[in-house]
Amino acid sequence: MSNQSEVVATAPCCAPLVREPLTQDWAGDLARMFKALGDPVRLRLLSMVASHDGGEACVCEVTPAFDLSQPTISHHLRVLREAGLLECERRGTWVFYRVVPAALAQLAAVLGPAELTVPAVPAELDIADLGVRA
């Protein structure tokens, strides 16, 4: 609704990935994180945790959303945790997961025309546009 206009097209120098070839070590680290995201179930898990109230969710809250067994969900959560994208904390009987913002920020920064340099305006940049333009 509001004028999102041409806010996006900033950042002349941009993502490290575009600026110079990745080192082998760095590519390995990043690949481990991207690989963790390379599964629809894990992506949805991450999103559900991130968008849940308080930025955290317990396993029993996210499990019913999938047609998968509890061990499988637990496995995927572990993959995300070992990739550094999620962290967990036991509270009584339940285990709560929440995202690690810095990890997501790192990935976004590597990929993208970093919105980091954008001042204030980008309330909503329409990803829908970017997506459907195949």
Partner DNA sequence: GGACTGAATCGATGAGTGTCAACATTGACG
Partner DNA sequence: CGTCAATGTTGACACTCATCGATTCAGTCC
User: Which positions from 7 through 46 interact with DNA, judged by CB under 7 A?
Assistant: 35, 38-39, 41
Nearer CB in complex with DNA: 39/124 = 39
What residues numbered 80-99 form the site for DNA, per CB under 7 A? Answer: 88, 90, 92-95
- Burial of 51-77, coded b for 16+ CB within 10 Å and e otherwise, reads ebeeebbbbebbbeebeeeeeebeebb
Residue 98 binding partner per list a second copy, DNA, none, with a CB distance cut-off of 5 to 8 Å that depends on partner kind: none
Q: Does 5 bind DNA (CB under 7 A)?
A: no
Helix (H) or strand (E) holding 98: strand 94-99
Residue 18 found at the interface with a second copy (CB under 8 A): yes
Report the site for a second copy in 100-129 (rule: CB under 8 A): 101-102, 104-120, 122-125, 127-128
Q: Is residue 118 a contact partner of residue 14, using CB atoms and an 8 Å limit? A: no
Cα distance between residue 52 and residue 21, in whole Å: 37
> Closest approach of Cβ 44 to DNA, in Å?
11
Sole binder of DNA in the list 70, 101, 121, 123 (CB under 7 A): 70
Among residues 1, 24, 64, 90, which is the contact residue for a second copy, using CB under 8 A? 24
**Residue with token string 């959560």:** 77
Task: For residue 83, give the nearest of 38, 52, 40 by alpha carbon.
Answer: 38
